[in-house]
Every structure is written in C-alpha cells, then in structure tokens.
Amino acid sequence: MTKISTTLYEILYVSTLAPEAPLSVVGDIAAKARIANAQHDITGLLIFDGMRFCQQLEGGQKQVLALLERIRQDTRHINMQILHHGELALRRFRNFSLGYCMVEDDDVLERMERLDGQAALDAFSGLLTQLDLDA
C-alpha cells in the first residue's frame, strides 16, 4: 500500500512578463491556471503589476513542484526567482484555485524581488490586506 502524503507545500516566486508577450496573455494565463489548478488540488494567488508577476502556489509537494517546472518552461515570462518554498501548515487560498489581482504600485513587486524566505512571506502577507482579490 502506498502512503499518500498530506503535507502541504508552498512556493512563492516572482518573474517578469517577457518583452514580446502582450498584456492580454495575463488573463489567459489566469483563466487556464484556474482550471488546471482545480484538477490538481492546487490553490494560490497571482499578482500582476503590468510588468511583474508574483505568485504563491500551495498544494501537495509533488503537484506544486510539477507545476513550478511547467511555469519555468513558459516563454511568456522571464527572470523567475524563487523567494520561498517549504511546508505549509494551512492553505491561505483554500476558497479558490487561483486568485488573481493587479496592483497599481509598480514598486511593490520590485521590492519583493529583493527578498527571500520569511521576509518575502511577510511582505506577501502584508500585500494581502491591500488587495481586491478576483476569486
């Protein structure tokens, strides 16, 4: 009998929209990701500032890491930087497969790029109170 791990895992990363990618791809990314995430029991939040992405993914470790690898291969963004990864006690976004929102302040995600570990998680958590989430 195979033991199924119930440990939650999370990844927080930032990346930049590829120069040749039109802004219209962002909505397409979010729409398709919602469907795929629901199929793999992954939840999370995608934030976009017009140039940069910041995304938190949560779910089973195997599923989250597989998704991360698919995202790494996506040519619509560049300069992916993992800010945090590790076990997660409780889902933050259990009510939707992928929340999506835009932020007006270009500096917010630029500052996120300079952080890692707990500092990145704290900054991300601080952002949540300011967002109007599109679940």
pLDDT tens track for 29-65 = 999 999 999 999 999 999 999 999 999 999 999 999 9
Residues 8-128, CATH architecture? 2-Layer Sandwich (3.30)
In angstroms, rounded to a whole number, what is the distance separating the alpha carbons of residues 71 and 11?
12
**Which range, 32-46, 87-101, 118-132, has the best average confidence (pLDDT)?**
32-46
pLDDT above 70 (res 15)? yes
- Whole-number pLDDT of residue 5: 52
Nearest to 17 by CA among 75, 90, 85: 75
Share of the chain above pLDDT 70, in %: 93
**1 pLDDT band (50/70/90 cuts)?**
very low
Nearest to 11 by CA among 108, 87, 99, 109: 87
- Whole-number pLDDT of residue 135: 47
**81 pLDDT band (50/70/90 cuts)?**
very high
- Whole-number pLDDT of residue 4: 47
**3 pLDDT band (50/70/90 cuts)?**
very low
- Whole-number pLDDT of residue 77: 93
